[in-house]
Amino acid sequence: MGCGRKAPQAELVRFTAQAGLLASGRTLPGRAAYTCTRLSCFERAVARRAFNRTLRRTVKIDPALQRLYTGGRDEQRRP
């Protein structure tokens, strides 16, 4: 979605819409959107509103989802 890279599903991060919120998980029900494992791909998808378009509904995106790409560390604190 973000960068357009093609890869096997096992190498991608899966998102669905759950109660109007963007949620990550391989086993969550519903229409899904996938991004590669790079933070820049996720950020580009957010900026382009690709999640809303792909999931066919408006979803609120929690900034905490970036932790999926950064391993829990804060990207702002890099030296």
Question: Residue 49 falls within a domain, yes or no?
Answer: yes
User: Is 74 a member of any domain?
Assistant: no
Into how many domains does the chain fold?
A: 1
Does any domain span residue 52? yes
Residue span of the structural domain in which 26 resides:
9-69
Question: What does the pLDDT read at residue 3?
Answer: 86
Measured CA to CA, the distance from residue 14 to residue 55 in angstroms comes to 12
pLDDT tens, 39-78? 999 999 999 999 999 999 999 999 899 898 887 554 444 4
pLDDT level of residue 17 (50, 70, 90 thresholds):
very high
Instruction: Give yes or no for residue 2 having a pLDDT over 90.
Output: no
Residue 73 CA from chain centroid, whole number: 17
Whether 78 maps to a domain, the answer reads no
Residue 48 lies in a domain: yes
Domain contains 1: no
- Does residue 64 lie within any of the structural domains? yes
pLDDT at 79 (0 to 100): 44
**Helix/strand/coil (H, E, C) string of 10-38?**
HHCEEEEEECCEEEECCCCCCCEEEECCC
